[in-house]
Structure 1
Amino acid sequence: MIELLAPVGSREALIAAVESGANAVYLGGKMFGARHYAANFTDEELSAAVRFAHFRGVSVFVTVNTLVDDNEIPVLVNSLQHLYDIGADAIIVQDLGVAVVAKKVAPQLPVHASTQMTVHNIEGVKFLANLGFTRVVLARELSLTEIELICKEVKNEAKKINVEIEIFVHGALCICYSGQCLMSSMIGGRSGNRGRCAQPCRLPYTLVDAQGINLLEHRNAGEYLLSPKDLNTIDLLPHLIETGVTSFKIEGRMKRPEYVAVVVDTYRRAIDSYLSSKEGFSVSEQDKKDVTQIFNRDFTTGYLINKPGRNMISDRRPNNRGVRVGRVISYNPDSGRAVLKLDEPLQVGDIIEFWVKVGGRVNTTVTSLAVKGQSVAEAPAATEVSVSVPTPVRVNDRVFKVYDRRLMDKARAFFTGPAAVRRIPVDIIVAVAQGQPLSIEMQDADGFVGMAKTSFVAEKALKRPLTKEIIAKQVERLGTTIFELRELTCNITGEVMVPVSEINDARRRAVEQLEKTRLARFSREQLRRKEFSLADILPVPVKNALKSNKPDLVVNVDSVEKAAAAATSGADIIMFGGENFTGNVISRNDYLGALDISRDSGKKIIFNTPRIVRFWQMKDLVPELEWLAGLKPDAISVANIGTLYLLNGFSTVLLHGDYPLNIYNSITTRFLAGNGLVSLTLSPELNFAQVEELAGKSNIILECLVHGHMTLMISEYCVAGSYLGELHNDDCQRKCLTGRYWLKDRKNERFPVVSDQYCRMHILNAKELSMLPHIPKLCRSGIGRLRIEAKYMATEEVGRITRLYRELMDLGEDHPLIAKDKADSMEHPNITRGHYFRGVL
C-alpha cells in the first residue's frame, strides 16, 4: 500500500487530512518542530490528536526536526517520553543527537529521518538504517531514476536494509538543499535549522555583474530569482508508485485546512485510481483545476524528470497566484467597474486579483456581478461580466481568482460537519431469544470487533414482538460515531420483547468496545521513566590524544596556488579539495601538488570531499577515496553521512566531520567521535557561549569558522545558467564560467554566486565573516582549530589573511593592535561576526 502522508498545522487541518483520505499525518508540538510559526499542538492537544487519528486507523508522526542545544536536552527528553506515552507512531528528526537521545530514553519509539538530514544517496540511507532509523525522507533534488535505484537497493532481500523510503509529492520547494541553508539565519538571525525560516528565497533579487549592472534587464525575467514554483506530481503518480516508495508526503503545515482537504482528497483518489486499474488511471481536469485553485505559485515537477532551470522558478511572484479567470476588456472610472472576458466561471463571494501593468496587484472580493446589465450570482466561462474594482485597472490586465467560494465550501465540508465524512463500515449481528439477553456484535472493515449484551433478559412478547425492522431502527443509529452500517443480521428466536432503551444502551457499549479494540493495536509497553544526564545518554568516549591546548590555524582552499600561499603565510593545516569555486575540476595532480606543499613546509593536510554526492558522482568518488586514502593525508573531511558511511570502511585514514553535518550539541559530537571521526567543525549557527560550552565538554578536536565568505545556499538550480544560458532547454552554456555574478537584494547587499565543478550553485554571504579582533578570546575558549574559508579569495588575499590570523594567534593580547584596541583597523567595512555574539532564534 502507498501511504499518503498529510501536513497538519492545526486541529482543523488534522480533521481535514483524516477525513479527506490521509493514511498518516505529520504535525508538531510547541517545541522542536521545523515549522515554528504554524499553530502547532500543546501536549494535551497532541494526545487528543493521536487518539482522534488512531480511532480512524491513521498514523501520527511528530516533527522533532530542529537542531537542539545542550540546554534543551532535558526538555527534549521529557517531550520524547511524552510522545511515546501518548502513542505517537514515529518522530521525524534532523539532528543526529536527537536520534541518539530518542534511542536512549524511548527506545521503542520509531525514528524517521527528516528531509533536513539531506539524504541524497543510498549510502546515507544505509548509514541511518544501521542506526535504527525506520524511514528516510529523501532530498527533493533527486530524480525518478535515483529514487527508483535507492528503493531497489533497499528492497534487495540479500542486503536487508530495513528502512522505508518517503518522498515529497506536492507543495512548496526549497531552492537550497534542505538542512544546508544558512541564508535566513545569517541575514536575519532566524534559523531554518531551528524552525524559524524567514524565507529569504521568496524575496526579490537582481542578478548583477561586478559593476552592478542588471544582467537580466532585457531578458523578460521577474525579480524573484530564488523562488521555486510549487511541486505537483499528480501526473507522475504512476511512475512514482512504481519506484517502490513507501510514503508520498504533501508539504504544507503552514497552509490552511481547506488546502489540506483539497490536495489530500485529490491525491487520495488519484492513487486509488492507479492501484485499482493501471490502464484506467486518470485525473480529471476539474481535480487539476481545484488543486491549482487552492494554492499555487505555478507548478513544477522539480528535478524528477530533468534539470528545469528557469522553468522551475516563479520569478514574477513568490506567493499564491490562483487561477487565471480572464482579462479586462474595458474599465469605467466613473462607476469604478471593469468588464472582464471570462476564461473560467466566476461567482459572488470569489476573490479576484488584477495584475496591473503599473502599480502591482489589485485585490477585491466579488460582491456583485452583472451580465448585459442584469445582476447575476454567477457567470460561466466565455461570458463578459461587469465587476466593481476598488482602484483603476487597464484594458488587457490579467485577472486571477485567488479564492473560489464554491471550492472552499466543498473543502470545509471535510472538517466542519458534525459527523464523520469518511466512515468505517461495520457488519452487525444481533441475537435474541426468550430467557437470554439481547447481544450485539459489531465487526468493522478492518476485522476489529465490539460486543455488548443488554442487562434485560428477553421476555415473551405480549403485543409487539421484536422484528428486524425494529432492531434496525435502533442499531443503525451511528450518526455521531465514525461507523456506518454495512450489513445487519438479526437472529430472533421466537416472539420476544426487549425495551428499546436497552437495545440503544447495548449499541452504545458495543461501539465503545469496538473503539477500544481499534485503539488497542496502537498500545505499547509502558515506558520506564528515569532521570537522564548527558553522560547517561552517551558517555564521553576515550580522550582523543590528538587534542592540544593551542588551536591550529586551518585554511580551506581549492587550488594549489592558494595552498602554497596559506602554507607560506602561517597555516598549520591545509584543507584542500571538495568543491572548486571556479567550476574547474580538481585533478589528481592538484591533490598531489597540495600534498607536496604541505609535506615540504611541515604542515598537515586534510583532503576535502564533496558536500553533495549524487548517484552519478558515486562511481567516481569510491576509487577517488581509495586513492586519496593511499596518499596518507592527516585526515579526510566528510560533509554528508553517505560519504561518512563509505569512509567508515577505511581503517587507514582519520576522518574529519565538516559543518554541513549540522553539529550543534555535545550528544552529536560524542556520537560522531564514537563513529570514527577525530575532529569536527561546529555549526556556524552557534554563539560564542555555546562554542565554549561544547569545547569544555569535548574530548575531540573542535573547529570553528572564523573568516571568509560563508556558503549560505547550495543548490542544483543555477541562476546564471537558467537566465543567461539555455539550461531550461537542456543546453547549458556554462555562463557561470564566463563572468562573476552577484545577487543584489532590496537593501543593495550583494551576495556572490559561484558554481562548482558539479554545476551546483553556491550563494555566499554578502558580508565577509571576520573574527580578527576576537582571536585571543577564541584561543582561550578550548577550541582546537580556527578555520579560514578561502575558496572565494584571490591567492594574494589568502596569504594576507592567513598572516594576520597567524600573528594574532601567536601574539594574542600582546599583538600591538589588540593592545591598543584597534584590531578592527585590519578589516574592511563589509564584515560580519556571524552568530558569535547574537546567536539564532
Structure 2
Amino acid sequence: MVTKRKIELLAPGGDVDSIKAAILAGANAVYCGLDQFNARNRAVNISFEELQGILHLAHSRNCEVFLTLNIIIIEREIPALIGLLNKLVNTSIDGVIVQDLGMLYLLRKYFKSLTIHASTQLTTHNEGQIKFLSKLSANRVNLSRELNIHEIKHLTSAAHENNVLTEVFVHGSNCISFSGLCYFSSVLSGNSGNRGRCSQPCRDQYKTTAAGKEYPLNLKDNSAFFDLKELYDAGVDSLKIEGRIKKYDYVYTVVDVWRKQLDTFYSQSKVGTDDSLLYKVFNRAFSNTLLKGEISKSMFIDNPRDHSIKHLSEINLYASADEVEAGQLKLYQEKEEIKAMVEGKINQVSAKKAPLQIHLSGECGSPLKVSVKTPDAGFDIFSECNLFDKGTEVLTEAMILKRFKAFNDTEYFIEELNLEGIKAAVYISFKELTSLKKKILFILNGSKETIAPVTLPTIKNREKEMHKPRLSVLISSEKEVFLTDKTKADIYFQLPNSFKDKCSHYAELFAKNKSLIPYFPSVIIGEDYTAAVEFLKQLKPKLIVTNNTGIAYKAYQLGIDWIAGPQINIVNSYSLLSLKEDFNCSGAFISNELTKNQIQAVKAPADFKLHYSIYHPIVLMTSRQCLFHQVTACEKNRVDDTCIQQCEKSSSITNLKNDSFLIEKSKGNYHTIYNQNNFLNTDILNDLPYVFSSFMIDLRDVKTESKLLVSKSEVIQLFENLLNGKADSETKVKKVIQSTTNQQYKKGI
C-alpha cells in the first residue's frame, strides 16, 4: 500500500488553555500571539514567559508552534520589534507569521534563523505574489480564502516550484472582504484590522434592506470538512483552523473532529460523513461554496450569533415550542459536558516552564563540575580551568544566580541551585563562568548556539525635496483620457480586476496614449493575472503603479519602472528599503491610515520617491461575493463570469447609527463598499512640506455623497494651484468638493 503524505493540521490558540486543548486534540501545529504585534487583540494572548512553557509542552508532544506577528508595524515600534526578535531567535519557535513588508525585510536580512510564514493578511492569490514572497524568504504562504480548489491547486504547484509551502483555511469564520484589504473598522472607529483591532462592522445589524435582510454582510462559517480529498489532491501542505478568540472547548472539539477525519483518510482512503460535533460548538452554519467555486447567496446567513440550536431544530424537525426547549436544554447540557471533559484533560498537563536542578561541586585544584537535571534528562559540564583558592570574588549562590540568570529566559527556570559539593572557599574567573553558561545554554536550546542581539544601523534622513510636488490624477473611464492633453499632471488609468477578455483593447488604448500610466488594482486572480502579465509584455510601459505585489514582481522581472500603490499600505522605512533593494521599486504611496507624526517618522531611501493620495473615495472593502444578494435581492443565485465582466450597479446599506455606505459593482471589477464621504487631506501640505514627490487625486466616477461642483478639468487646475502655493487655493478646493473627511489622518493607527 502506498503511504499517503501527511498534511499538517494547524490549530488556533488564543490563550494557554486553548493551546493545550489543540495539542491534546492532535494538532500538528498551533499558531498563537503574544500581547503585542498580532492580529487578534481581542484574544487573551500569551506572555513571552508563557510562550517558553508552551514550546516545551508542544515539542514534547511533536507539535510545532508558530507565532503570529501579523500586523503592519509603524516606525516607532521598530525598536520593540527588534527587541522581541532578538529574544525569539534564541527560542525553539518553529515559525513566525508575518504581514508587514518591512518585517519581512528585517527577518530576511538580520534574523535568518527564523522561518517565515506569509500571513493571510498579505492576500496571496496569484503566482506572482508567491514569487514576490519567496524572494523575501517566505517558507510558506496562506492562500486567500476566496480561492476555489482549482486556483488553490495551481498556486500550490507554483509555490512548490519556488520551494514554498501552502496552507488553506478549512474551518471557522469567513471574512467578507479580501483579508488585508479591509479598512471598514479603521475608517469607522479608528480600529484598524491591519493592526489586529477589527471591530467587525460586517457582523453588525443594518437597517432592513430591500431584500429583507438585517445582517447583509454576515457570512456563514467556512467548512471544508467534506473536501479533504480535493485539498489533498491539490497538494496543500497545511489545513488551518480559524479561531484565536474561541475558547478551549471549541478548539478541542474542532481539532479532534478534523484529526479523526485525517486519520480516517490516511488509513481507509475515504472521507468521513459525520460532522455533527462541529454543530455543537459555536457556528454560524457552514458553507464550502468558495472552495467549490460556487459563489452564491447561500453563503450568507442573516444572524451572526450561534446557529447550533437552529441547526438542531432543523435536523430534528421539532414541531412545538416544548420540543425546541427540550432540544435546547439537551444541547446546552452536551456543551457543558464537552467543556467539562476538555477542562479535565487540559488540567492534567502543564504548559509552564520546566524546572532545572543545578548542582555544583569541586575543590581547589580541580575543575568545577556543573550537574544540570531537567524533567527529561541530565548532563554534566566541567570548567576548562581548575578552581583557585584566591581571586576576585568567592564562588557563592548569589554569584552563580547572577551569571546563570539567562537560563530563566529559556523554556526552563532554575528551581534549585545547590552548592553543597563546594567544600571550601574557591574562586573561578568570570570568563570561565560565561563559558559554562554558554555550554549549558547550547544544550538547553537544543544544541543551538546563542545568537547575539542585533542592533540595526541608523537609517539616515535623506535631503528634503525642495521642488514643488507633482500632481497625479486617477481615472478609470476611457472618455476621460482626453485629460492627458489638458494638464501636465500624471494621468493614471485604473485597470479592472478582470480584463482577460479585453487585454488587447487596453494594450491598444495605452499604445495610442503614450502618456497614460497603467494603474493596477489590488486583486488579480487566475486567468486575469495571466492576462495582466501578457499586457505588460505586450505594452512594455515605461512606468506603472500597482497595488498588487504579483504585478510588482513581474514589473521587476521585466525591468519596468514601478510605484507601489496605496493599497500595499506602506507604514515604515524598512518596507521602503525592501521595495527598493529587492524589487527595484522607484517610489511608493504612504498609507492613508497614518497620522502626521506617523508619516514624519518614515524615512525614504535615496533616489526613492514618496507619493500620497490626497483625495479619493475611501474603499472600505473589496469582496468576491455578490453583495447585492442580501441588499437588493439580485435575480441571479450565484456569481458567474458574466457577472464580473458585465454587471454594473450600485446600492447602499445603512447601519443603526445612520451611517450609509455605497456598494458598487462596475464592469470587470469585484464588489466594493465605499465610505459615504471621500477622503480629502489638504492639511498634509502644510504639515509635511518637501516630503512627497507627488500627490494623487482620484477622480473616478464613484457615486459617494461627496460631490464635485465643477468639472474635473477645473478640479485638476485647482489642485495644481494648491500644489504651487497659489493664494486661496485650499479654500477653493474645499468649496468645490463637498462632504469629505480626513479622520484617518487625524486618528492614525
2:594 paired residue among 675, 686, 698: 686
Aligned length: 650
Q: Does 1:754 align with 2:664?
A: yes
**CA deviation profile, 1:648-686 (whole Å, cap 9, x unmatched):** 2212x3111112222110100111012111121111111
2:323 paired residue among 336, 340, 362: 340
1:612 paired residue among 506, 519, 523: 523
Inter-CA distance 15–739: structure 2 relative to 1 (3 Å threshold): closer
1:296 paired residue among 279, 283, 289: 283
Question: Corresponding residue for 2:410?
Answer: none
**Cα distance between partner residues in 1 of 2:266 and 2:635:** 39
Question: Corresponding residue for 1:801?
Answer: 715
**Cα distance between partner residues in 2 of 1:58 and 1:341:** 41
Q: Does 1:306 align with 2:216?
A: no
**Cα distance between partner residues in 2 of 1:308 and 1:676:** 38
Question: Corresponding residue for 1:643?
Answer: 551
Q: The residue matched to 1:677 in structure 2 has which SS?
A: coil
**Cα distance between partner residues in 1 of 2:268 and 2:51:** 37
Question: Corresponding residue for 1:677?
Answer: 585
**Cα distance between partner residues in 2 of 1:176 and 1:684:** 19
Instruction: State the one-letter code of the partner of 1:611.
Output: S
- The normalised TM-score by structure 1 is 0.72
Q: Does 1:708 align with 2:626?
A: no
Question: Corresponding residue for 1:282?
Answer: 272
Instruction: State the one-letter code of the partner of 1:407.
Output: I
**Cα distance between partner residues in 2 of 1:123 and 1:615:** 11
Question: Corresponding residue for 1:508?
Answer: none
Alpha-carbon deviation of 1:531?
Answer: 2.0
Q: Does 1:267 align with 2:258?
A: yes
**Cα distance between partner residues in 1 of 2:141 and 2:445:** 24
**Cα distance between partner residues in 1 of 2:228 and 2:146:** 17
Q: Does 1:562 align with 2:562?
A: no
**CA deviation profile, 1:193-219 (whole Å, cap 9, x unmatched):** 011111111113358xxxxxx5324xx
CA contact (8 A) 2:23 2:58 kept: yes
Question: Corresponding residue for 2:199?
Answer: 198
2:210 paired residue among 209, 215, 221: 215
**Cα distance between partner residues in 2 of 1:692 and 1:451:** 54
Inter-CA distance 797–15: structure 2 relative to 1 (3 Å threshold): farther
Question: Corresponding residue for 2:427?
Answer: none
**CA deviation profile, 1:64-89 (whole Å, cap 9, x unmatched):** 11100111111101111212212111
**Cα distance between partner residues in 1 of 2:576 and 2:690:** 17
Inter-CA distance 825–715: structure 2 relative to 1 (3 Å threshold): same
Q: The residue matched to 1:86 in structure 2 has which SS?
A: coil
Question: Corresponding residue for 2:651?
Answer: 741
CA contact (8 A) 2:469 2:695 kept: yes
**Cα distance between partner residues in 2 of 1:172 and 1:79:** 30
**Cα distance between partner residues in 2 of 1:242 and 1:540:** 52
CA contact (8 A) 2:615 2:681 kept: yes
**Cα distance between partner residues in 1 of 2:503 and 2:7:** 45
1:134 paired residue among 114, 121, 139: 139
Q: How does 1:158-557 map to 2 (within 5 A)?
A: 159=161, 161-205=162-206, 214-217=209-212, 222-279=213-270, 281-284=271-274, 288-314=275-301, 316-324=302-310, 325-326=312-313, 339-340=322-323, 344=327, 346-347=329-330, 351=332, 404-417=335-348, 522-535=446-459, 549-557=467-475
**CA deviation profile, 1:694-722 (whole Å, cap 9, x unmatched):** 26666411111111212121110121256
**Cα distance between partner residues in 1 of 2:546 and 2:201:** 28
Q: The residue matched to 2:253 in structure 1 has which SS?
A: helix
Q: The residue matched to 2:157 in structure 1 has which SS?
A: helix
Instruction: State the one-letter code of the partner of 1:321.
Output: H
Alpha-carbon deviation of 1:574?
Answer: 0.3
1:659 paired residue among 546, 566, 571: 566
**Cα distance between partner residues in 1 of 2:453 and 2:480:** 55
Inter-CA distance 411–798: structure 2 relative to 1 (3 Å threshold): farther
Q: The residue matched to 2:291 in structure 1 has which SS?
A: coil
Find runs of 4+ consecutive structure 1 residues off by over 6 angstroms: 327-330, 448-452, 583-587
**Cα distance between partner residues in 2 of 1:102 and 1:663:** 17
Q: The residue matched to 1:623 in structure 2 has which SS?
A: helix
**Cα distance between partner residues in 2 of 1:239 and 1:639:** 31
Q: The residue matched to 1:713 in structure 2 has which SS?
A: strand
CA contact (8 A) 1:771 1:833 kept: yes
Alpha-carbon deviation of 1:523?
Answer: 4.8
Alpha-carbon deviation of 1:29?
Answer: 0.8
Q: Which moved more, 1:69-78 or 1:548-557?
A: 548-557
1:34 paired residue among 33, 39, 49: 39
**Cα distance between partner residues in 2 of 1:83 and 1:590:** 49
**Cα distance between partner residues in 1 of 2:349 and 2:553:** 52
CA contact (8 A) 2:42 2:245 kept: yes
**Cα distance between partner residues in 1 of 2:158 and 2:497:** 31
Inter-CA distance 191–729: structure 2 relative to 1 (3 Å threshold): closer
Alpha-carbon deviation of 1:449?
Answer: 9.7
**CA deviation profile, 1:117-147 (whole Å, cap 9, x unmatched):** 1111222112222221111111111111111
Alpha-carbon deviation of 1:17?
Answer: 0.6
- The normalised TM-score by structure 2 is 0.80
**Cα distance between partner residues in 2 of 1:701 and 1:136:** 30
**Cα distance between partner residues in 1 of 2:46 and 2:654:** 39
**Cα distance between partner residues in 1 of 2:623 and 2:606:** 33
Q: Does 1:574 align with 2:506?
A: no
CA contact (8 A) 1:550 1:779 kept: no
CA contact (8 A) 1:559 1:590 kept: no
Inter-CA distance 419–47: structure 2 relative to 1 (3 Å threshold): closer
**CA deviation profile, 1:560-616 (whole Å, cap 9, x unmatched):** 322324752x451000132289x998665556556655x6xxxx5321123212112
Alpha-carbon deviation of 1:344?
Answer: 4.6
Alpha-carbon deviation of 1:540?
Answer: 9.2
**Cα distance between partner residues in 1 of 2:497 and 2:324:** 54
Q: Which moved more, 1:784-793 or 1:321-330?
A: 321-330
Instruction: State the one-letter code of the partner of 1:688.
Output: K
**Cα distance between partner residues in 2 of 1:730 and 1:658:** 28
**Cα distance between partner residues in 2 of 1:596 and 1:729:** 38
Instruction: State the one-letter code of the partner of 1:246.
Output: D
Alpha-carbon deviation of 1:776?
Answer: 3.9
Any stretches of 5+ residues in structure 1 without a counterpart?
A: 208-213, 331-337, 352-377, 379-402, 421-447, 453-515
CA contact (8 A) 1:770 1:832 kept: yes
Bigger radius of gyration, 1 or 2? 1
Instruction: State the one-letter code of the partner of 2:712.
Output: V
Instruction: State the one-letter code of the partner of 1:257.
Output: Y
CA contact (8 A) 1:9 1:253 kept: yes
CA contact (8 A) 1:606 1:636 kept: yes
**Cα distance between partner residues in 2 of 1:839 and 1:781:** 21
Inter-CA distance 404–655: structure 2 relative to 1 (3 Å threshold): same
CA contact (8 A) 2:472 2:490 kept: yes
**Cα distance between partner residues in 2 of 1:136 and 1:310:** 29
**Cα distance between partner residues in 2 of 1:89 and 1:776:** 46
Q: The residue matched to 2:58 in structure 1 has which SS?
A: helix
Q: Which moved more, 1:70-79 or 1:403-412?
A: 403-412
**Cα distance between partner residues in 2 of 1:761 and 1:729:** 14
**CA deviation profile, 1:394-413 (whole Å, cap 9, x unmatched):** xxxxxxxxx72233333333
**Cα distance between partner residues in 1 of 2:259 and 2:662:** 43
**Cα distance between partner residues in 2 of 1:86 and 1:419:** 19
Instruction: State the one-letter code of the partner of 2:481.
Output: A
